[in-house]
Structure 1
Amino acid sequence: MWGRVGMVNLISMLVLMTKVISSYNPGFGANGLSMNYYLMSCPFADNIVKDTVNKALQSDPTLAAALLRMHFHDCFIEGCDASILLDSTKNNTAEKDSPANLSLRGYDIMDDAKQQLETQCPGVVSCADIVALAARDAVFWSGGPYYDIPKGRKDGRRSKIEDTINLPSPTFNGSELIRCPRGGCSLSNFDSTHDVDPALDSNFAKILSKTCSTGDTAEQPLDATRNTFDNAYYNALLQKAGVLTSDQTLYTTSKTRSIVNGYAMNQAMFFYDFQQAMLKMSLLDVKDGSNGEVRDNCRKIN
C-alpha cells in the first residue's frame, strides 16, 4: 500500500548497524589505514571535505541523510571503495543505476570535494575516503556524535548493478535483518503490493494510507525529526509508528526489542554504539594499493 518514500532520516538508514555491524570485527588499521594517513601528503584533506559538506548542508539540510546513506550503500557492496560513485559505461551498468540506488543524492558534493583536493594534493586523496569523511561530517553537522575514522582507502575498479541484489529488502522481518551478513536495508521505495503491517498503530496506519493516496511521489518522513540526528526514531517504534516493516519489526522481534528500548531511553548510549558501528563499517573490505587506486575523477576509473 505504500507510496514512494521521501529522503531517509539519518537514524533510519543505520538502525541495525549499531548491533549487527558491531558483531563484525575486520581489525582496526586494516590494509595500512591510519588516523594520520594524510598528515604529510595532504594535511588539509579533512578540512576541505568538511567545509564542502557544511556549505552544501547549509543550502539543503536533507543532504545530510543522503551523504550518510551513500556511505552505507557504498560499503555494503564490494566494501568501502567508492564503487557507488562510478558512472555506467557502454559495456557496464554501474551500482548507482540500480533501482535500489536511483534515489541516492550528493554526487555533486563528492565531485566538488574531489576537485578541490586534486588542486591541493593531486593523486593523493581517494574518493572512498571522501565518501567516508563526508558521511561523518554530515552526522556531526546534524547534531550527532563526532567520530574519527582511519584513512587511506583506495578506490575500487568494479561497480556492477547485479551486486546490489545483496541489499536487504525494507520488508524484511527482524530475524531476516539479523541474519543479513552486513545489515541495513535499501529504503528508496515502499512496495505498493504489501498489506498494512498489523504491528502498526491503527491511527498511524491511516495516516500512511492517506499520504500514499496522493500518488507515487508522496513523501513520508521516517521520523518526526528527519534532519536532526537523535533517538526520535526509536521512540516512534515504541509508539508503533515505524514506517517500514523493517522498522517496526525491531520492536516486535524479541532479539532487538531491548535495543530499541535502550536507545529510546538513552540517547547517549545510542550515540556511543553508533560511533563504534560507523568505525567498523568504514573498514568493510577496504581496498589497498594492490587491488585499488586513487581515481583522478570519482566517476570513472583511471
Structure 2
Amino acid sequence: MALIKLLPRCLFQVAFSISFLLGPTLGGGLKVRFYDKSCPQAEAIVRDTVNSYFSQDPTVSAPLLRLHFHDCFVRGCDGSVLLNSTRTNKAEKDAKPNQTLDGFYVIDAAKAALEKACPATVSCADILALAARDAVSLATGFRKKMNLTKENLYQVETGRRDGFLSKATEAEAHLPSSDDNIAILKANFASKGLDSRDLAILSGAHAIGTSHCFSFEKRLHHHYNGRGGADPTVHPRYAVELLEKCRPGNSTVVEMVPGSSTTFDTKYYELVARRRGLFHSDAALMEDEVTRGYVYSSLKLPASSFFVDFGESMIKMGKAGVLTGKSGEIRKNCALVNH
C-alpha cells in the first residue's frame, strides 16, 4: 500500500512529497535532490536547457514527456530508449512504435552541459525524468502565470543509473498501443506498479502533442477489427473530420487536442467524454469504472487538481525498474554505453 502525503490542491503550492512503499525494483534508492552534494546545479542545468528550447519551439514539450514514458515502459526508467542501435543489435529507438520519437537533441544538450559541469555524475535516465517534468511545467503556463523561474509542478526523485541494454523487440512487446483495449492497458500499467487511476491520469499526457495519421486512421475505416464498420467508440462526426485530414498516402499530423496541442490542461478529458479522443486507447478509458470516473471528475475540478494528480503518478511511474547504487552506469554519452 502506498503512503501519500498531499499538499492542498492549489496552483500556489508547487511542490508535494510522496513516499511509496514499493519493492526494490520500484524506486529503492531514489530521493529528491539526490545530486545536492555531487552536482548541486544539476536540476537547474536541465531546467535551463529545456526552457531554452521551449522558448524557441513550445511543441518540444510533448516529445520530451513521451521520451520518459517510452523509457519507463521498457526495462524500466534506465535510459535505454536513448541508446543507438549497433551492428549486432537493433535498439528501442528504432522499433516501430518509437520511430516517431523526438526531443533527443534536448537530452543530448542537457547531458553535454552536465558533463562539463559535473563529469560522470548525472545519469541520462534522470535527465529524462527531469526534462519531462520541466516540459510539463512549461506547457501548463504555470511558471509564467506565477512569475516563477525556479519552481516546477512536482519534485522529481533522482538517483537512477543507466542501463546497458536496449532491444527493439522489447519495445514492440511492452509499449502500450494506441489500439489497446482497457483490459490490456490496465495489465500493462499494472506491470509497472501503476493502477487504473494512474492509467487515467497519465493518459492526460495526450493533452499536448500531435500524432501521425497512421497511428489511428485504421479505427476510422469500415474494416476496423474485422467486424465491419468504423470503431464504434469514436464519434461519427469526429471520424469524418479526421478522415478529411488524413488523406490516403499522406504523412499528415493531427493535434491530440485540436487548437491546444502545446497547452497542458484538462481539455483532453472533455474530448474523451465526448467520444473525441484520438486513439482507441483514449476511448477505452470510458470502459472501466475507475478510469471513467476520473474522466468525469476532471470535468468538474480545477486544472490544479489534475496537475497534482499527474505529478503523483509521474513520480510513481518514475520508480519502475530503476537501477540504483552500483547497478548500471552513468553514461558519458546518452546514446552509447561507456564500454
User: For the Cα contact (< 8 Å) 1:86–1:299, is it kept in 2?
Assistant: yes
Change (3 A) 1:31 1:176: closer
Are 1:221 and 2:251 an aligned pair? Answer: no
Alpha-carbon distance, 1:129 to partner: 0.7
Alpha-carbon distance, 1:137 to partner: 0.3
User: For the Cα contact (< 8 Å) 1:174–1:256, is it kept in 2?
Assistant: no
| Alignment match of 1:169 (pick from 177, 189, 205) | 177
TM-score (norm 2): 0.77
Are 1:154 and 2:161 an aligned pair? Answer: yes
User: For the Cα contact (< 8 Å) 1:29–1:150, is it kept in 2?
Assistant: no
Change (3 A) 1:30 1:176: closer
Judge which range, 259-268 or 179-188, deviates more.
179-188
Letter of the structure 2 residue corresponding to residue 291 of structure 1: S
Alpha-carbon distance, 1:179 to partner: 2.2
| Alignment match of 2:239 (pick from 201, 205, 208) | 205
Matches within 5 A, 1:59-78: 59-78=56-75
Are 1:279 and 2:315 an aligned pair? Answer: yes
Judge which range, 246-255 or 234-243, deviates more.
246-255
Alpha-carbon distance, 1:34 to partner: 2.0
Letter of the structure 2 residue corresponding to residue 273 of structure 1: D
Between the aligned partners of 1:33 and 1:192, the Cα distance in structure 2 is 40
Alpha-carbon distance, 1:152 to partner: 1.1
Alpha-carbon distance, 1:255 to partner: 4.0
The unaligned stretches of length 5 or more in structure 2 are: 1-19, 143-151, 193-198, 225-229
User: For the Cα contact (< 8 Å) 2:26–2:321, is it kept in 1?
Assistant: no
| Alignment match of 1:260 (pick from 275, 291, 295) | 295
1:68-90 deviation per Cα after TM superposition (whole angstroms, max 9, x unaligned):
00000001111111111111111
Between the aligned partners of 1:97 and 1:72, the Cα distance in structure 2 is 16
Between the aligned partners of 1:105 and 1:204, the Cα distance in structure 2 is 27
| Alignment match of 2:282 (pick from 219, 232, 247) | 247
Alpha-carbon distance, 1:291 to partner: 2.3
1:108-162 deviation per Cα after TM superposition (whole angstroms, max 9, x unaligned):
1111111111111111111111111000000001116611011111000011111
Tell me which residue corresponds to 1:102: 99
Query: Aligned-residue CA RMSD in angstroms?
Result: 2.4
Between the aligned partners of 1:65 and 1:157, the Cα distance in structure 2 is 26
The alignment partner of 2:110 has SS state of helix
Between the aligned partners of 2:281 and 2:110, the Cα distance in structure 1 is 34
The alignment partner of 1:41 has SS state of coil
Are 1:190 and 2:190 an aligned pair? Answer: no
Higher relative contact order (CA 8 A, sep 6+): 1
| Alignment match of 2:121 (pick from 101, 124, 136) | 124
User: For the Cα contact (< 8 Å) 2:26–2:322, is it kept in 1?
Assistant: no
Aligned residues: 281
Between the aligned partners of 1:251 and 1:269, the Cα distance in structure 2 is 20
Change (3 A) 1:247 1:213: same
| Alignment match of 1:44 (pick from 25, 41, 46) | 41
1:228-277 deviation per Cα after TM superposition (whole angstroms, max 9, x unaligned):
11000000112221111111121244442111101122123322211110
Between the aligned partners of 2:235 and 2:72, the Cα distance in structure 1 is 34
The share of aligned pairs that are identical, in percent, is 39
Between the aligned partners of 2:159 and 2:234, the Cα distance in structure 1 is 44
Letter of the structure 2 residue corresponding to residue 50 of structure 1: R
Between the aligned partners of 2:319 and 2:45, the Cα distance in structure 1 is 22
TM-score (norm 1): 0.86
Alpha-carbon distance, 1:285 to partner: 0.9
Between the aligned partners of 1:134 and 1:80, the Cα distance in structure 2 is 13
The unaligned stretches of length 5 or more in structure 1 are: 1-22
The alignment partner of 2:231 has SS state of coil
The alignment partner of 1:62 has SS state of helix
Tell me which residue corresponds to 2:108: 111
Letter of the structure 1 residue corresponding to residue 307 of structure 2: F
Considering fraction of residues, name the structure with more strand.
2
Alpha-carbon distance, 1:204 to partner: 1.1
Letter of the structure 1 residue corresponding to residue 187 of structure 2: R
